[in-house]
Amino acid sequence: MLSSPRARASLLASGAAVAGLLLSSLSGGVSHAAVDNESCRPDGLYKTPGVDVPYCSVYDAQGREKMGADHQRRVIGYFTGWRTGKDGTPAYLASNIPWDKITHINYAFAHVGGDNKISVGGDSPNNAATGMTWPGVPGAEMDPGLPYKGHFNLLNKYKKQHPDVKTLISVGGWAETGGYFDDGGKRVASGGFYSMATNADGSVNHAGINTFADSAVAFVKKYGFNGVDIDYEYATTMKDAGNPLDWSIANPRRAGLVQGYSALMKTLREKLDRAGAADGRHYMLTVAAPSSGYLLRGMETYQQQKYLDYVNIMSYDLHGAWNEYVGPNASLFDDGKDAELAAANVYGSQQYGGIGYLNTDWAYHYFRGSMPAGRINIGLPYYTRGFKNVQGGTDGLWGRAAATSCPAGSGLTKCGDGAVGIDNLWHDKDDNGKESPAGSNPMWHAKNLEKGVTGDYLKSYGFPADTRLTGTYARKYDSTLVAPWLWNAEKKVFLSTEDEQSVARKADYVVDKGIGGTMVWELAGDYAWNAAKGQYEPGSTLTTLMYDKFKAAAPYGAKVSNKALPTKAVDIGVGFGEFKLGDSNYPITPKVKITNNTKTTLPGGTEFQFDYATSAPGNASDQSGFGTKVISSDHTGGNVGGLKGDFHRVSLKLPAWQTLAPGASVELSFNYYLPVSTPSNWTVNIAGTTYALAGDLARGTTVVEPGTGTGPTPGPTDPTPTPTPTPGACTAPAWDAAASYGGGATVSHGNHTWKAKWWTRGEEPGSTGEWGVWQDLGSC
């Protein structure tokens, strides 16, 4: 169970949208001149059927995002709504953002209301998002041309001055995934994402998803955002994952959470695409994704990636006071000594291949298995995690800090001894209003601890004026992990930090790997030295360092494959399904379903090849006679100091006696031992010619009929598209559970139109999964 400073929900940040329309300059509208938008579509990105998505408003002819001449890589900052200064603690407003050093701002957070619509709360002057003002604060003067106030007003005011910066509304977070904070600051356990996307019986809640998606599109247009960022923590089948306050809602639904998440992301993508086509601009869809191998094991193959402009990996909270193992918050690499992994015998297990999976490099490679490097951003924390009463380890590192009791409401019976008091400035509170021990501090406070400074801000956080520090906070650094920390030997306090050395190394890693950029939680934790006061304060030192590293970098990696693939693709569907739930999902043994959607019979012995990520060892196999084997690997062995390459290449063949007729499917049982995202870079050899598969959505491919070199060219969306139905008009006959349907038949069900890919009877549309018999053609 991962707690998170993303949990920090504001009692001041509740509020609601104020009516009004944005000026066209804020909405980023562009002309509707004829453009070959497909030439700008990022590699692997899903395109809504029948929609001319204006990708070229955001991407260039190589499918790379346009961010300004001095921004070759992204620097994405989360800007939180609750650091308003109204409670006397230091404010962090839009005027404090280093606008010229960043590329994107994610506003945290909106939530899913009880009506399944996006919301930032009720309309009032106390609403930080849309109603609050800061009289007399330089730079916080409202733009009088906008019909709302608050952070949204200021964000749009500064966007006029920095038009290359994009803003996204982030929905959810640790505290508001399964509920929300009402206008009085009380948390309401409404179900949030869990109930909006998934019904109590585990089926997809199409009505809730459509309501939310429609409201999200209207929201971004109304308030001048460039897109939506979904921070759903977490759509995993692992039991007791996410906020313990949500377990009673999430656990009964966990068998259907991944399917609901996929339907949510597909619906959002399609509705944003349609709105973008009408407005002449591409609206972005992104997520904050887990980095933990534990959580990702319950998220199947993270098949939602194709709907996303990019993924922001939450590659932090890898160690913290939710358990007793003392380690770094966000190490870049594994060192082979992680105490938590050692206790689970990860290093001693031949099946795991000695791969440690609690580090940024592992998480990056997980997603790299299915996405271009440029559609991935690694996360950096501008906050600390820490423990007290640490026993053993080297200056605390890989020691133990067991607690005698856990915070109320944590749901834990055993946890770590988190640091408190002066070592826990940005703490949350438990169910009884008491400080939750976590060692959570902005990095500027950690720098003051390191320097032995008691800042003038301590009184505003409730500390006496004569507060003195106990012991010395000595900075330590491990170059293998790429992780600094503070060690107070007298107090036995360990605080995991970030600073110029670690951030510079991570920035170099981003450049060297061709990664899209970085995401930081949160901007208010960065620091600067105030010489006049002799203390560190909120600033932009680390953000500026990344900007300087990135501005002269080469363009990021824009292709999924690192090798040339065929430019002709065939319509053969491949999907992974029937994953076991939670802790039963080990080893990971899904069914792989291959469906021949061409008009050509595939002979026995037909060979398929694909790549999967080196986040898992190269020991994948099958249990079904398809001869699945790894034929090449970019990395072998453990991962101390980082994985050396991206892909394992796999071969499997239809058994000699197994032909695959047009419209027919075959299944095999696949087997692997650490999570991987959706396998990619598929090829199939048919009668001596090697083709790509249309489902990879690769740029520059043409869908053909095998053996002819010609055929329908439906593009990267769906090898066999059907015109999108008009919203509000379900013209297809209603699905009948007793009826039989042949391939190509269309029905309406759950306010969506569906097309059968092959013969079926009794299989409910919406229940068969993305790779099942029913293809979702969209809402009607």
pLDDT tier at 2, thresholds 50, 70, 90:
very low
From CA 735, how far away is CA 762, in angstroms rounded? 9
Least confident of 379-388, 422-431, 747-756: 747-756
A 10 A CB-CB count for 409 gives 14
pLDDT tier at 776, thresholds 50, 70, 90:
confident
- The pLDDT of residue 163 is 97
Q: Are 95 and 123 in contact (CB under 8 A)?
A: no
Strand blocks (E) in 672-773: 680-686, 689-693, 702-703, 740-741, 746-749, 752-756, 760-761
pLDDT tier at 628, thresholds 50, 70, 90:
very high
| Of residues 304, 249, 316, 236, the one with CA closest to residue 583 | 236
The amino acid that residue 148 corresponds to is: Y
pLDDT digits (tens, 9 = 90+) for 323-340: 999 999 999 999 999 999
The two tokens of residue 366 are 């997980």
- The pLDDT of residue 711 is 57
Q: Which fold has domain 5-314?
A: TIM Barrel (3.20.20)
User: Does 410 score more than 90 pLDDT?
Assistant: no
Q: What share of the chain is helix, strand, coil (3-state, %, to 5)?
A: 20, 25, 55
From CA 547, how far away is CA 97, in angstroms rounded? 13
> DSSP states of 483-519 as a string?
EEEEEETTTTEEEE---HHHHHHHHHHHHHHT--EEE
Give the three-state DSSP class for 367: helix
The amino acid that residue 244 corresponds to is: P
pLDDT digits (tens, 9 = 90+) for 70-99: 999 999 999 999 999 999 999 999 999 999
Cβ burial of 183 (10 Å; 0-12, 13-18, 19+) is middle
The amino acid that residue 304 corresponds to is: Q
User: Does 29 score more than 90 pLDDT?
Assistant: no
pLDDT digits (tens, 9 = 90+) for 291-335: 999 999 999 999 999 999 999 999 999 999 999 999 999 999 999
User: Does 759 score more than 80 pLDDT?
Assistant: no
Averaged pLDDT of the chain: 91
Question: What kind and span of H or E run contains 27?
Answer: helix 24-27
- The pLDDT of residue 723 is 38
The two tokens of residue 233 are 């923590």
pLDDT tier at 8, thresholds 50, 70, 90:
very low
From CA 763, how far away is CA 738, in angstroms rounded? 10
- The pLDDT of residue 739 is 79
| Of residues 243, 480, 240, 242, the one with CA closest to residue 359 | 480
From CA 780, how far away is CA 236, in angstroms rounded? 29
From CA 112, how far away is CA 684, in angstroms rounded? 43
Buried b / exposed e over 653-670, threshold 16 CB at 10 Å, is bbeeebbbeebebbbbbb
- The pLDDT of residue 769 is 64
Angle between helices 257-279 and 206-223 (to 10 degrees): 40
Residues 6+ apart with CB under 8 A from 470: 488, 490, 491
The two tokens of residue 332 are 């870049």
pLDDT digits (tens, 9 = 90+) for 160-182: 999 999 999 999 999 999 999 99
From CA 193, how far away is CA 260, in angstroms rounded? 9
pLDDT tier at 17, thresholds 50, 70, 90:
very low
Angle between helices 541-550 and 500-513 (to 10 degrees): 30
User: Does 640 score more than 60 pLDDT?
Assistant: yes
pLDDT tier at 762, thresholds 50, 70, 90:
confident
- The pLDDT of residue 599 is 96
Q: Are 650 and 628 in contact (CB under 8 A)?
A: yes
User: Does 32 score more than 80 pLDDT?
Assistant: no
User: Does 102 score more than 60 pLDDT?
Assistant: yes
From CA 680, how far away is CA 305, in angstroms rounded? 12
Q: Which fold has domain 568-703?
A: Immunoglobulin-like (2.60.40)
From CA 340, how far away is CA 336, in angstroms rounded? 11
Q: Which fold has domain 723-780?
A: Seminal Fluid Protein  PDC-109 (Domain B) (2.10.10)
User: Does 712 score more than 50 pLDDT?
Assistant: no
- The pLDDT of residue 707 is 87
Least confident of 50-59, 147-156, 353-362, 731-740: 731-740
User: Does 437 score more than 80 pLDDT?
Assistant: yes
User: Does 31 score more than 50 pLDDT?
Assistant: no
- The pLDDT of residue 19 is 28
User: Does 765 score more than 90 pLDDT?
Assistant: no
User: Does 609 score more than 70 pLDDT?
Assistant: yes
The two tokens of residue 693 are 């598969």
From CA 128, how far away is CA 80, in angstroms rounded? 10
Find the length of the chain.
Answer: 780
- The pLDDT of residue 436 is 94
Give me the residue label for tokens 């060892």: 617
From CA 232, how far away is CA 170, in angstroms rounded? 10
Within 31-169, residue ranges assigned H as helices are 150-161
Give me the residue label for tokens 């680390």: 542
pLDDT digits (tens, 9 = 90+) for 533-589: 999 999 999 999 999 999 999 999 999 999 999 999 999 999 999 999 988 988 999
Q: Are 435 and 420 in contact (CB under 8 A)?
A: yes
Within 643-752, residue ranges assigned H as helices are none
Give percent above pLDDT 90 in the chain.
Answer: 82
- The pLDDT of residue 541 is 98
| All structural domains of the chain with their residue ranges | 5-314, 568-703, 723-780
Strand blocks (E) in 388-466: none
Within 70-149, residue ranges assigned H as helices are none
| Of residues 415, 517, 499, the one with CA closest to residue 449 | 499
pLDDT tier at 411, thresholds 50, 70, 90:
confident
- 757 or 204, which is more confident: 204
